Amino acid sequence: MDFKAATDNLCDGISHDALAKALGVSVATVRQARLRPEAKAHRTPPENWEDVVINLAGSQIRRYRSLISELHAARQQALFAAPPKRRA
Q: What is the pLDDT of residues 36-67, one digit of tens each?
A: 999 999 999 999 999 999 999 999 999 999 99
User: Which pTM was predicted?
Assistant: 0.78
Q: Would you tell me how many other CB atoms lie within 10 Å of the CB of residue 19?
A: 20
- Which one-letter DSSP state was computed for residue 88? -
Choice among 5-9, 20-24, 69-73 with the minimum mean pLDDT: 5-9
